[in-house]
Structure 1
């Protein structure tokens, strides 16, 4: 059985300030670094075999907290970056809502291609699911930790499970430094492939 832990990065000032990050390289703030250290201590108990991360610093630095405890090297993968938010990157959500009300409403409603240069959900899912599967293939039967971003994690996990966008949307957003656990039982007799084992798991005191 292969276990895949898809871990969202720690808090940033963009998170705290209500700004859209997308692929902007916003660093962890002090709270995010504390979250990463606490979550890493819990994740280390799973004895991971492989550690793969988005190459954006907030994800890579989150992964570094686990690397320092386990001695694992971090394999960077740009396919694990967050959804590209086009014209909205770096902007406040409140400003976006007032300046682009039609596109904002489409995005909130789950439209896969809301406009304003935002990466489509299908394109996001395609690149992230490929990265997740490639990461899992690095340790068949082992435990793989992948550090990524909230939107990327949800869309990639949904695609790995074979869910349509409507079903993927029912997954709650990952909190900072929380993770989704997937297991692949296809190598067992009668296995059925990837299954959702747990979602939004993390240190209980963290929000």
Structure 2
């Protein structure tokens, strides 16, 4: 009895192997486009869910292949035309300052000024005026004025300390002030 069971199982495996090989051969011959189906082999069917993405069996050129129109070339890139730099004679936006101070021992106003030339091509001369303005009351009057011309090359930054000395001695009380860049006329050299 045990021998019969083993023989029966062995036959089933052999039948499956032959059936699977036959089905694989049928699929290969049908997809390849030549040969005839083996008798009793199932005809494979292609559905959109089974076929590779973008594959159309009726189209001889699969959509995955690039056509000459689809290929990328460096000539396809866009680069804008170079634009001419604009020139604004008011250079106050090119000037920044820090450390607006008054020294009691020196009786002197100071202000650290940086001038940055935004041009990548031209050198500019800046005619700069710095005022130490009254802050309380803010009546539009200045405690002091500093003027200087400075030359700045393309893309460079020049920094200096603006100073204004007063001869008040020790005869001044408490006062408030702020620093302002009141003029920065820019000239192209």
Q: TM-score, normalised by structure 1?
A: 0.20
Q: Greater relative contact order (Cα 8 A, min sep 6): structure 1 or 2?
A: 1
**Higher Cα Rg: structure 1 or 2?**
2
Bigger proportion of residues as strand = 2
Bigger proportion of residues as helix = 1
Q: TM-score, normalised by structure 2?
A: 0.21
